Structures are given as structure tokens and as C-alpha cells.
Structure 1
Amino acid sequence: MTPLDRKLLRDLWRIKGQAAAIGAVIAVGVLLLVMMSGLVTSLDETRRAYYERYRLADVFAPVKRAPQHLLAELSALPSVAAVEGRITGHALIDLPGLDIPLRARVVSLPEFHAPRLNGFYLSAGRAPQSDRNDEILLLKGFAEAHSLQPGDTLDITMNGARHTLRIVGLAQAPEFLYTTAPGELMSDDARYGVIWISMQTLAAAYDLEGAFNEALLSIGRGAQSPAVIHAVDRLLEPYGGFGAYALADHGSNRFISEEIASLRATAAAVPPIFLAVAAFLLYIVIFRMVEAERGQIGLLKAFGYSNLETAAHYFKLILAIAAGGATVGCVLGVLAGRALIDLYLLYFKFPFLIFQLDPGSFIAAFSVSIGAASAGGVTVLRRVFRLTPAAAMQPIAPPHYRPLGNVARSLQSVLDQPSRMVVRRLTRQPGRMAGAAGGIAAGMALSVAMIGIMNGFNQAIDLTFNVIDQSDVSITFNEPLSDTTLANLRSIPGVIAVQPARHVSAVLRHGVQRHLGVISGMTTNARLYRTVDSRMAPVPLQAQGIVLAEALADILKVQVGDLLTLEVREGRRPTLRIPVTGIAQNLLGSPAYMELSALNHALGEPNRISGAYLRVDSAHQNSVYRVLKDMPAVASVSLKQDARTALQTQMDRGAGAMRYIMMAVAGIITFGIVYNAARIAYAERARDLASLRVIGFSRSEAAFVLLGELALVTLAALPLGAVLGYYLSFAVAAGFSTDLYQIPATVQPVGYGAAALAVIAAATLSGWLVKRDLDRTDLVLALKARE
């Protein structure tokens, strides 16, 4: 081992506290990078393998009723590799002990062969036999939520008729990775299920003998799905086609794609913030070390060490800290990724999960961390090259102390001696104090931003279920009905208020932008379900116009006054040109709203509704649910409280759960920055503080000189950290938001207070640790010049 390497080890041991704190900052940045890259790779690879293994379709084509012979024409289309026709529908499940019916989707199984497309994974039991029309497969998540097993029976209402069916197996499928009831965005296994049943049974239940109402298509590699979709729509249009759509627009696939995109964006944006902070801290440490070791640098050069060898010694110090932090971060990132991957087995219904580490993430982690650390030290190393032996071994020129200002002089007249020493250092070295305050402010900004995200998730729930949706129950009909149905709903004992609604599937276009969504028809003076702007004021629905949620307006790149093209996918399928008359604040989904009568007029179907919102007397709610369950026209009943609970659960998983990890990381970063500021101040003044002890200062007075400076710098950093945190919260909120849900950047005064308390607590703990070292200082060794 060379003398310089032995000196390197001594230096690392001497600054072990600072090195550990800086390494921790680097480690958490690398942890997030490796963990998120691993999650992205694992989810993406598992999704690809699952889709491929169970032959998920590339194009879905719902239709009202199409004859079986049309499948041959669809299979003859260019680029189409395989075609499967099936029957799907909505059903209600009546479970003992529940007053409200549970919603389900029923899917047909081919009579004499396994599905060519959209297969299923059998997790328990067996598949239904072709000659037994009362046997079904049940979605595993729903079965587990209600403790159902193969051999149990279910009472199911399909198309108004009641059936008793027997469960013979539990299944999972790639098209139901994320299951949501119609009209909802949040998955809830306890409230929505999927049932596979023989095609013969479904054909009889929905009057579709010899026909199908959904076609599944697989297309060849390299084929363009828009061309196939256009050809499919042309063939199905005479039979009531609702418009084919690609896998990218499939609800389940959209959710997992958005989750992967969110993780990828966070992995690209957040770790560099932590690594930049680490580079800043390393710069300060190395800068102070080079300043303190000018004489040693001069001696090294005088004894024949070149500029490159001397600079390499300090560069090795930087690399040792950065590489150590990166190594720890990689190990912790793998462990955290393996722990979180189990969470995604609950979040998405994979029957298996392939955990894969991206080798590129390790290379990127080391490259970025070492690069960031090197960037912080290169500027300092230039000073090493410029120092000549003669100049380096001369004492440093005394700093130029400006005369104190009037304010500082007036303060010194009323302060004791230790306090005056603190004030003089702050006023005569403002650059160093500003750098320390900036570092602490950066740590507080991270805490403020993460507290803002926590508040944003809560605000999303509050806005959705307390401001926008003020109903208790929402119902959906099997098909659009006359608005005279409202009178029947109002006559139910316990129903206080009823608001009609109509939901229509449509493609919204603006220039080259396109979105497959739903237009919701609402009354002008809606009270139970409202449209509000960013100030929570009602957004009026005009007879000739459409109101878009803010997220949808961003997707389509439209503003108030722009014209939208609406391609309606139901009824007569008209194409409409409608101006945008308002932008609504909605944090879940990307809805569009029109005035109900205007929507019905555009569709050529006046006085029609497809659902309603109800406010119910809590004393009669169970009886209301029982009446709704017995109404043949009702396809589904949804309780707002159940939806709220599902949303809260959802936001505590997946990307939502990531906010807790980020909060913990922000706390580590904050402590690391404050502790480094304290350690650097102590390292700079260790000799001065020892001198104070020798001339008669007590331990408390010497500690006050050091910690008083830290306290004032910390207090000065608090307002700056609050401002930086306010703007950083917008960037972090944008990383968490997707097209399916938006998280607002909301920092309330209590959030700033909590972040400030976290910084003060970190400063207090850091001060205690530094004071402990100060009390243990050997005065003789501290006053000696180091060799």
C-alpha cells in the first residue's frame, strides 16, 4: 500500500461521520433508481409473458349482434392472424347476507375447445364441461374476497332472469389484470367479479343464438392496428358495431401501462435530485479538506508527487464515498424491489410474477452517482493543480473582515462574548453560511414536497367524494330507458333525491389528438353529481357545448372555445362537432360532460337515461337496496362509500404506496444534509474551539459558539426551504399523476410546519451528536498540526 493510500484510509476514518451521511444520500438515490428500474422491468416482462402465454387479443370489437358467419370475413382481413367470437354481458350476483347486489361481467367459453384468444389461467378446480350449462369459472380475486370455493353455488341475474350456477373452478386472465366495474376507475375485488360460462348458456340468456356480441382479433407482427380497426368497423357497422379498439385502449392494459409509465418517469426524475444534493455535499467536504491541507499538499509536491498523483489522491476519496454509497444503494434497491413486487401481485392480478433486475440500472446507478460526485469535486481538484509547493506551505492569508454594519454592532453591544463570536462569523463569512443554508433548505424542500403529495392524495379523495359526488348510490340500467323511470325511483320509500344521467361511449378528436372515453349527460342544475372548476364553483352545462375534465383537456390539447369532433359509438353513431365551453376540475379519470337533453337530441333519442344518482335516507337504505336488487332493468348498483374505500385502498398500493417510501427517503436526506452541515462546521473550527477551551471557555460555551451558528443557519434556511418546496411539489405531483388520476400539489400551512419541525429535529439530533464529539475532544491533539 502506497503512502497516499494509507493517508486515504486515515482521511476516510477521520471523516467517517460525514462520509456515511453523504453515502446515505447517494444510497437512497441509487436505491430508488435500482428499485424502480427493477419494478419497471419486472412488470413489463411479466405483462409481456402473460399476454403472450394466454394469447391476449390485439383488437377488441364489441357489437350489438353479429352472425357467426361474419367471423370468416373478419379472419380474411389483411394482417389478421386469428379471430374469436364470444358473448359478454353484465350480471348481478346475489350473495346471502348482502342487501345490495354485486356486479359481474359474464364471458362465454367455446363449446368444444379452449379459447383461441384471451385464454385463462386455472388457479383452482377445473374448467366447465361442455355438456353442463350450469357450471362456471369465477375470478379468483372475487372468490377470495367472499370465501367462495369450487363446489359452491351462485345466484346470478342475467338480462333480468335469475340463474343458479355452480362454481367448478377459479381463474385469472390477462384481460382482467385490473378489474373495474363500468363507470368506475378503482378496482375492488369484493364488489366486482368475472364469470366464465358456456356460450350456449349465454346465448340463451341474451337471445344471441347463432350470434356473438364481441369479436377478438390477433394481428401479425408489424401490422398497423388502425388499418385493421377501420376494416373491422366497416364490416360490423351494419350489425350495430360499437367501434373496435386496440389493446392500448383496453381498460386493464391502460392501468398497468400507466403504472409502468409512472414508475419509469419517477425513476428518471427523482434519483438525480438526491444525487445532485450528494454532489453538493461532497463539493463542500472536499473543498474544506483541500483548504485545511494546503501544507500537506505542498509537502507532497515537494517530495516529488506530481499534480496528477496528488489530485488523484483526493479524487479517490470522492470515488470511495460515491462507490460505497452506490454499492449499499444497489443492495437495498434489490431488497426493496423484491419486497414491493409482492405488493403488485395484490395490485394487479398476475398468476405469476417474473422479478428481473435490469443490469443497465446498476451500470447507470454507479455511473450517475460517481459522475455526480465527480462533478462536485472537479472544481476543487483544480485548486490542487494550481498550488505550488512554496505557496502551499505558506500560511493562508488572513481573511479580510469587513467592518461590521450598524445592525451587527448594535447587536454585539447587548450580546455576551460567545454570542458575538457567532454573529461575527455569520456576518464575515456570508458565502459559507449561505451555502450551508442552501443545503438545509434543499432537505426541507424535499420534505415539503412529499408532505404536499400526501395532502394531494387526500385532496383527490375529498374532492371526488365530498365535493363532486354528493350522492349515496349510483345505478346503471341494462339499456337506456325513458326518463319516466325517474318517477319509479322517486317513489321508493327512503329515496330523498334522484338525478338522471346518461353515459355514452365516444372517441374525442382534436387535430391529431385522440381519446377513447365516455360522455356523461347531466342536467343543468345537477346537485348530486356536479361539475366544478378549480375554485370549486359549479361549471354550467350549456345546450350547445361540452365540458372537459382538466386532464382530458391536456390530453387533447384544447382550450375553451376550441371545436371537438365526437365519434359516438352507440345508437346511430353520429359524428358531432361541438365547442368546448368549460374546463372542470376532476382528479379521477378523464370525463367529458354535456347537458342531458342536448346529448339525447344529438343522438336522436330524446328523454333517455342510462343511470341515476340517488340520495338515500340512512334509516331506510337496506330496504332501498332490496327494492333496487329486484328491479329487472337495473344492471348495477354502486355505493359511494364502497367506492371511496376502494379508492383509499388503491392509493395505498402501487404508485400510491410509493409516496410513503419517498417520504422516508426525504427524511433521510434531510437528516443527512443537516448532519453534514454540522460536521463540516465542526471540522472547520475544531482547532478554534479547542483554543477557546484552553483559554477558559466551558464546554457549554464552546458548544454554543458552534451550535449557535448551526441554529441560526437552520432558521435562515426554513423560509427558503418552504419556497423551494412549494415549487418542487408541482414537479413531484406531475410524476405521480397519470391520465387516469391526477394528484394535485397541495401544501397547507400545517405541512410547512411539519417540514420545519423535521428540519429542527434533525438539527437538534445533529447538534447533540456533534456536541458529544466536542466534549470528548482531546485538546492537545486538536491543537497539534496534523502530519
Structure 2
Amino acid sequence: MKGQVMAIALVIALGVLMLVMMNGLVRSLEDTRTAYYERHRLAQVFAPLQRAPQSLLDRIAELEGVTAVAGRVTGSALINIQGQPLPLSAQAVSLPDRGEARLNDIYLTSGRRPDPSHEDEIILLQDFARAHGLNPGDSLSATMHGARRAFRIVGLAQAPEFLYSAAPGEFVPDDARFAVIWMSQSALAAVYDMNGAFNQLLLGASADSSLPAMLDRVDTLLEPYGGLGAYGLADHVSNRFIEEEISGLRVSSRTVPPVFLAVAAFLLNIVVSRMIQAEREQIGLLKAFGYRDVEITLHYMKFVFVIAVGGALIGCLLGVLSGRSLAQVYQSYYKFPFLLFQVDPITFLIGVLVSILAAAAGGMVVLQSVFRLTPAVAMQPPAPADYSRSAALASFLKRFLDPPGRMVARRLLRQPGRAAGGVIGIAAGMSLAVAMLNVMSAFDRTLELSFSLIDRSDLSVSFVEPLSDKVLYELQSIDGVIEVEPVRTVAVLFSNGQHSYRGAVTGLPPAARLNRALDVRQQAIPLRTEGVVLAVALADILQVNPGDMLSLDVREGRQPQLQVPVTGVADSLIGSPAYMALDSLNRVLREPHRVSGAYLRIDSAKQDAIYRQIKLLPAIAGVSLKQEAREAFQTLIDTSAGAVRYLMAAIAGVITFGIVYNSARIAFAERARDLASLRVIGFTRGETAFVLLAELSIITLLALPLGGLLGYFLVFAISEGFSTDLYRVSAVFVPQSYGIAALAVIIAALLSGWLVKRDIDRIDLVSALKVRE
């Protein structure tokens, strides 16, 4: 039985592998994030504002629950890199002139901190520097506050608040297209005219403080200084995406391994139950000699435990190795300075215990049925099966089927339960393959929908602050620009009862062409004069439907609080956007004819000249090329959580083969005596193999439609597990995935059939026909 044992142990190992790997990644990411945050004193409260004097910090420090206060200067910048056609977006952040920062300190990877007496010294984000081959000692030019300045890099750093960082107007990070520049407080304050002032407040909070009450008090104090709304660490963009990643892994760790272990339990149930039924006479003999039921149970449970424990130990080892490999991917993508893969010892214990319990469940049921028999009855061969009430072959089938064919048909009709068990087992394996192939296609659909149908521009520009829409004429006048479409993005706190979300409203023209809100049929949603259109993900977060009223707490300008109806739900798969008509948005903000960016469609033959013209515009905060954004998103889904889908698809393929092979091996073990009898009475090897393999073929073919149906429902669960706050993986159904999964099952069946036929050809007729004593 070594073939069956190895196949079942492999299925158990794969389930435990997923359990150990995912739980280990969750713990490693959580522990590393916590340690990184604490070591570099990441703030618990962030409060952007227009301008406030440093003297205000003393009043804020007196607030209840506040443990640390820091005011710093931040601003946008554009970096000019030789050989780059467009300027690259950057964020400038101040550091204290002396010593380490009380809050949001940096992790210096090389070089030193800036000397406040040298205003041209900066520290650069390490990953951006590596992407462009920059090192301490190199020079860098950047445009800040409308003026172009030359700087000297004195150090490279990472920071816990920039684990996940994207350029303005984008959702996906790209090391080569977004930078962070750290300068001394006095130097950066001089650049942005913030001497003696700050425009971002950072707070540390005690563990027992009330965060909502603290945010309210901070907003009240900052209101006269243009406060844009304080928010907690949970709403910080970088932390939120890290949390989404961890939450997705946590959900997967609770749903995926049980599926694999359930399949293993099902296979073991079949193997052990049929083995026990075949040995009922020996069990009866043992009972007659005085062996107790407990002793006999332990005998069979040892067989089960060897498979379960062996598979679980292999799974633990493979889980650690896989987790360490993925941990390196997470460390490089999320910019952790360190990430050690650690697994809670309880996870190994749970993996082994669950494997044993799953494996033992099937055997116990069958043993109880045998133990109910007295020794005298158990020692007798089981009574011949009564097939008088079972389905019989139709007379017309008898005319078309030869004797081997009739044997196959009678076995299927007389033992439908066993046939159904094989069908369900193979269908379960196929459903995993169908689900994973469809999910992989869903990632491709997310790319296609987002970058071909929703966004039909070639590039987008964002401005430092909302400007008059006359700037659109300046963009349109550039030779080679075919079409310009305005956009305005406004920071908003959405609220619906207890549900809230910190995001943004995007104002679009009523008949937008370059960036649109689409419904599930991929038709443009008209933006009405009143109301807001929400992405599906945002509507789910806020628990609203079309027709419901939604509260919008605007965090810009006059900061009005609005009550607007939800007029539609958009099928947006990247981010959680909300859309309003541009004129309506400007009207409620009392800022008519304002835009914060634009989408452009350009002549590709003149793109270099267009880029040079855009570089000269002083109010540009960032420029995003759609092709580069698409490539960055492709990188995202091929790493981090997206990389797990490849591993799960490979595991689904292995499990599918394991189930099909086990079904073939079990059928051969059950019928070895019957097959040997056929050989003795004159059947050829081919005819004998046909009796077994034809049955396996029919079961496999019957399993194909059921596997497709189960895969249909499994797609929804797996797609939901992969979806995050950054992107949503919709449940799509690609016909090719069903064909590929079915082909994989058929190939597994052919290979399994070939392996079993080898055993049939080698069967020892004398040994197989001996009466078991």
C-alpha cells in the first residue's frame, strides 16, 4: 500500500504546508511590523494642516492621553533624473536639526544625517536610490515650492511610515517613480516658508487613551490653522495596506488548509474502511482470542497515525521552507529592514493534531461497525451482497456490451455508493484546479478592466494644489496632446452610521471619456447633478446601496459636511474610489472651475517633446504614465499575496493527481483477487485491465461536470480571500480554465491508469487467489 500511503501523506503534507506557511507569515509580518514601529516610534495620530506655530505644540502636549508630540514640515517635490523623460514625484519630510526624531524616526541604512548648517544635504529613500544607482556623495536636483534646487545625498534610509508608498494619484508603489527626501527642519522650513511653523502634527498616544476623543480635540485645536482632519495609524495609507495584506493571509490560513485536510480525511476514510472490511475475519479471530476492541483499534490507528504524522511532519518542514522564501519577497516589496520567518510552536502542534484527527475520523466509523459484531459472526465471510433490488442492465445494453463491459456496468450499478465516493473525490480535486485557474484569470481581468476600459488615457498629471481650469488650455496647447480631461480629487471621510472610510471623491466630467466609472456590464455610469457613485468595495465597506444617503466630511478648503445620495455602484477593481460630477463637486465646495489634475491622450510619435513641455510647468506635483503604472501593478500581483496564487495552483494540481491516483490504487487493492481470477479463467491482460480501468474512466468522466460545478462556488471564496483594500479580485469564469482543469484530471487519470496497469500485469496469481488465514 506504499503508493496509496505516499499519496495520502502528500495531501496531508500540502494542507499542513499551507497552514504553517500562512500562519508563519501572518505572525512574522505582525511581529516585524510591531517591532519596527516601536523601535522607530511611529506616531499613533497624524494631523495634516496648512500652517501652525511651533508654540501650539505645548498646548497639544497637555491633551489627555498624549505621550509625545512633534511638528514637522512636509511638502511635494519633483526630482529630475538624467535620462528620465519626466520628473519623478517625491515627498520632502523634515528631521530635527539635532538628535533623533521623537516620533517617526528613520532607519539609516548608509551614510549620515544631514548637517543643519548645510542646507543642501539630504537623505534619500533607499529603494528609490537603488533603482537609479544613487549613493551617498552623489548630487540630485529637485523642484520644490516652484524653484529648482541642487542637493547632495549624504545618506540612505528606510522608514516605517513608508513601508508602502505610491506617487500622487496612484495606488501602486513603484520604487523607481516615487522618492522620499529627508532634510533638516530648518532647511526644509526655509524652502517651504515654514520658519517657526509646521504643517503636519504627529502624536504618540497611551495604550488606555480614547483615540476618537483625542482626534476630536486635535481637530478643534487645529481648525483655526487649516487642519485637514486628524486620523489614527489604522487610516495611515502605508499601515492600512500592510494590514490588508496580513488580514488576507489570515483569512486564507483559516480557509485553505481545512479544504486540503478534509480531502485527506476523505481519502483515508476510503482506504481504512475498505482495509478493515477486508480483514473483518481476522478482527473476529482476534476478538475470539480475547483481544479487546481498544487494542484492535490501536492496531489500525497506528497505521493511520503513521500516515498522518509522517505527512504532517513533511508539511511542517516544507511550510517553513516555503515561508522563508515568501518572507524574502515580502521584505523586499514592503521595505522591511528585517523580516525573520517565525512560526508559533503551537502551529506545528495544531498541524499534527488536526492531521491525526482528520485521518482517524474515517477509521473509527468503520471500526465501530465491525466491533458491533460478535466474534463468531465477524470470523465468517460477509454474506453475499443482495443485488436483487439494485439496478439491472437493460436488455439492449447486453447486446452491445461484451463480458468485460458488462462487469464494469454491473459494478457501477450495484455499488453506486463506492462509485459516488470516487466521483466526489476526483471532483473535489478538480474544483481546486478550476478555482485557482479562474482566480489567476481574475487577476488578468483586473489589469485589463482597470488599464484598458476604465483608464483610457496615456498619462495623467496632478497639481500641487487645485488650480483654475484654465490650466487645461495650457495642456491642450502642447503640440501632440490629442485630448485633455479634467479631474478633481478631494480628501473625504465617508460615514454611514458606524461604518466609515477615509478616502477621496473624484470629480469627473459628466461625459468622461479618458477615465470613467463603469458598471458590471462595463457600461459608463452617468454622473448625475446630485449624488455619488461608489466602487463595489467601498459600498461593501460602508454597507450602502443605491438610494441610500451617505455622509461626506470633506477634508479640504472650507471642509463642508455633506449628505448625498448614492446613485450607483461602479465595478472598479483597483482602490476604493468614489465619483461625483465635477461641476457638482466644485459647487458644494464653493470653488467653481477648479481642477487638481488631468488625464491626457497624446500622440506617441511626439511624446518626448510633450514630456519636455510638461517638465516646464511649475505647478505639477506628479506625472504618471499609464504603461508604467500597469507594469507596477503587474509586479504587485506577481509578488506579495499575488505570488501565493501560483503556489496554491501548483498544490491544487498535485492534489488532483493524488486523488485520482488514490482512487485507482484503492480500486485495484479491492479487486486484486477478482482480477487474478479473470486471468486464471482465460482473460488476457488487456481484458483484465479493461475491467478496472474502464470503471476508473467512467468515474473520472462523471467527476468532470461535478468538479466544474464545485469549482464555480469555490471561486467566490478564494477570490474574496485574495481581495484587499488596494485591489479586488472579482469572481470570473473563463471557459479555458474548465478545459485546462478537465485536461489535467484526464492526464492524471491516464498516468494513474498506466501505473495501475503495470501492477495488474505483474500480479502474482497464486498469492492473490490464496484464502487469507
In which range does the TM-score fall when normalised by the shorter chain?
Answer: over 0.9
Matched, 1:656 2:667: no
- Secondary structure of the residue that 2:357 maps to in structure 1? helix
Q: For each residue in 1:522-579, what CA deviation from the matched residue of structure 2 results, as whole angstroms up to 9, or x when unmatched?
A: 0100000000011101111111100000000000000011101110000000000000
Counterpart contact for 2:273–2:362, Cα < 8 Å: no
1:781 equivalent in structure 2: 767
Matched, 1:513 2:499: yes
Matched, 1:80 2:66: yes
Describe how 1:353-502 pairs up with structure 2 within 5 A: 353-402=339-388, 408-502=394-488
User: 1:355, CA displacement in angstroms?
Assistant: 2.4
**CA distance in structure 2 between the aligned counterparts of 1:183 and 1:409, rounded to whole angstroms:** 73
Q: For each residue in 1:146-200, what CA deviation from the matched residue of structure 2 results, as whole angstroms up to 9, or x when unmatched?
A: 1111111111001211001011111001001111112211110011111101222
**CA distance in structure 2 between the aligned counterparts of 1:72 and 1:405, rounded to whole angstroms:** 89
Counterpart contact for 1:441–1:717, Cα < 8 Å: yes
Counterpart AA for 2:762: R
User: 1:226, CA displacement in angstroms?
Assistant: 1.2
1:537 equivalent in structure 2: 523
Counterpart AA for 2:207: R
Counterpart AA for 1:750: Q
Matched, 1:698 2:720: no
Counterpart AA for 1:390: A
1:118 equivalent in structure 2: 104
1:6 equivalent in structure 2: none
Counterpart AA for 1:157: T
Matched, 1:193 2:179: yes
Counterpart AA for 2:422: A
**CA distance in structure 2 between the aligned counterparts of 1:148 and 1:729, rounded to whole angstroms:** 45
**CA distance in structure 1 between the aligned counterparts of 2:504 and 2:693, rounded to whole angstroms:** 61
Q: 1:216 to 1:729 in 2, by over 3 A?
A: same
Q: Percent of pairs identical after alignment? A: 60
The one of 238, 250, 258 aligned to 2:236: 250
**CA distance in structure 2 between the aligned counterparts of 1:217 and 1:433, rounded to whole angstroms:** 66
Counterpart AA for 2:8: I
- Secondary structure of the residue that 1:165 maps to in structure 2? strand
Matched, 1:763 2:749: yes
User: 1:407, CA displacement in angstroms?
Assistant: 6.6
Query: Structure 1: any 5+ residue segments left out of the alignment?
Result: 1-14
**CA distance in structure 2 between the aligned counterparts of 1:493 and 1:785, rounded to whole angstroms:** 94
Counterpart contact for 1:311–1:384, Cα < 8 Å: no
Matched, 1:220 2:206: yes
The one of 313, 325, 328 aligned to 1:342: 328
Counterpart AA for 2:276: V
Matched, 1:32 2:15: no
Q: For each residue in 1:757-786, what CA deviation from the matched residue of structure 2 results, as whole angstroms up to 9, or x when unmatched?
A: 111111111111111111111111111133
Q: For each residue in 1:588-628, what CA deviation from the matched residue of structure 2 results, as whole angstroms up to 9, or x when unmatched?
A: 11111110000000001011000000001100111111111
Counterpart contact for 1:548–1:583, Cα < 8 Å: yes
1:9 equivalent in structure 2: none
1:4 equivalent in structure 2: none
> Which range moved further: 93-102 or 389-398?
389-398
- Secondary structure of the residue that 1:413 maps to in structure 2? helix
Describe how 1:579-598 pairs up with structure 2 within 5 A: 579-598=565-584
**CA distance in structure 1 between the aligned counterparts of 2:363 and 2:589, rounded to whole angstroms:** 68
Counterpart AA for 1:118: N
**CA distance in structure 1 between the aligned counterparts of 2:524 and 2:422, rounded to whole angstroms:** 48
**CA distance in structure 2 between the aligned counterparts of 1:467 and 1:346, rounded to whole angstroms:** 31
User: 1:405, CA displacement in angstroms?
Assistant: 5.9
User: 1:747, CA displacement in angstroms?
Assistant: 2.2
- Secondary structure of the residue that 2:58 maps to in structure 1? helix
Counterpart contact for 2:116–2:186, Cα < 8 Å: no
Describe how 1:525-604 pairs up with structure 2 within 5 A: 525-604=511-590
**CA distance in structure 2 between the aligned counterparts of 1:451 and 1:334, rounded to whole angstroms:** 26
**CA distance in structure 1 between the aligned counterparts of 2:528 and 2:261, rounded to whole angstroms:** 51
1:686 equivalent in structure 2: 672
User: 1:278, CA displacement in angstroms?
Assistant: 0.8
Q: For each residue in 1:111-149, what CA deviation from the matched residue of structure 2 results, as whole angstroms up to 9, or x when unmatched?
A: 122211101111111111121110100001001111111
User: 1:485, CA displacement in angstroms?
Assistant: 1.1
User: 1:414, CA displacement in angstroms?
Assistant: 1.2
- Secondary structure of the residue that 2:400 maps to in structure 1? coil
Counterpart AA for 2:658: G
- Secondary structure of the residue that 1:502 maps to in structure 2? strand
Describe how 1:227-376 pairs up with structure 2 within 5 A: 227-376=213-362
Counterpart AA for 1:577: Q
**CA distance in structure 2 between the aligned counterparts of 1:558 and 1:378, rounded to whole angstroms:** 49
Counterpart contact for 1:474–1:612, Cα < 8 Å: yes
Counterpart AA for 1:761: I
User: 1:295, CA displacement in angstroms?
Assistant: 1.0
**CA distance in structure 1 between the aligned counterparts of 2:511 and 2:396, rounded to whole angstroms:** 66
User: 1:220, CA displacement in angstroms?
Assistant: 1.2
> Which range moved further: 740-749 or 145-154?
740-749
**CA distance in structure 1 between the aligned counterparts of 2:214 and 2:389, rounded to whole angstroms:** 81
Counterpart AA for 1:33: L
**CA distance in structure 2 between the aligned counterparts of 1:439 and 1:587, rounded to whole angstroms:** 34
User: 1:402, CA displacement in angstroms?
Assistant: 4.0
Counterpart contact for 1:57–1:118, Cα < 8 Å: yes
Q: For each residue in 1:181-226, what CA deviation from the matched residue of structure 2 results, as whole angstroms up to 9, or x when unmatched?
A: 1221111001111110122222222221211110111011221211
**CA distance in structure 2 between the aligned counterparts of 1:477 and 1:122, rounded to whole angstroms:** 31
**CA distance in structure 2 between the aligned counterparts of 1:51 and 1:354, rounded to whole angstroms:** 16
Query: Structure 2: any 5+ residue segments left out of the alignment?
Result: none
**CA distance in structure 1 between the aligned counterparts of 2:291 and 2:310, rounded to whole angstroms:** 27
**CA distance in structure 2 between the aligned counterparts of 1:374 and 1:498, rounded to whole angstroms:** 67
> Which range moved further: 16-25 or 372-381?
372-381
Counterpart contact for 1:451–1:747, Cα < 8 Å: no
**CA distance in structure 1 between the aligned counterparts of 2:708 and 2:199, rounded to whole angstroms:** 57
- Secondary structure of the residue that 1:410 maps to in structure 2? helix
Counterpart contact for 1:469–1:528, Cα < 8 Å: yes
Counterpart AA for 2:267: L
- Secondary structure of the residue that 1:151 maps to in structure 2? coil
1:747 equivalent in structure 2: 733
- Secondary structure of the residue that 1:566 maps to in structure 2? strand
**CA distance in structure 2 between the aligned counterparts of 1:558 and 1:384, rounded to whole angstroms:** 57
- Secondary structure of the residue that 1:587 maps to in structure 2? coil
Counterpart contact for 2:392–2:410, Cα < 8 Å: no
Matched, 1:670 2:656: yes
**CA distance in structure 1 between the aligned counterparts of 2:772 and 2:636, rounded to whole angstroms:** 59
**CA distance in structure 2 between the aligned counterparts of 1:371 and 1:143, rounded to whole angstroms:** 53
Counterpart AA for 1:650: L
Q: For each residue in 1:335-385, what CA deviation from the matched residue of structure 2 results, as whole angstroms up to 9, or x when unmatched?
A: 111111111111110111132211121121112211222222221121131
Q: For each residue in 1:273-325, what CA deviation from the matched residue of structure 2 results, as whole angstroms up to 9, or x when unmatched?
A: 11111111111111111111111111111111112211221222222211111
- Secondary structure of the residue that 1:730 maps to in structure 2? helix
**CA distance in structure 2 between the aligned counterparts of 1:94 and 1:117, rounded to whole angstroms:** 30
> Which range moved further: 621-630 or 399-408?
399-408
TM-score, normalized by length of structure 2?
0.99
**CA distance in structure 1 between the aligned counterparts of 2:121 and 2:50, rounded to whole angstroms:** 26
Counterpart contact for 1:315–1:381, Cα < 8 Å: no
Counterpart contact for 2:15–2:261, Cα < 8 Å: yes
**CA distance in structure 2 between the aligned counterparts of 1:517 and 1:402, rounded to whole angstroms:** 70
Q: For each residue in 1:18-50, what CA deviation from the matched residue of structure 2 results, as whole angstroms up to 9, or x when unmatched?
A: 111111111100000011111111111010100
**CA distance in structure 1 between the aligned counterparts of 2:394 and 2:20, rounded to whole angstroms:** 50
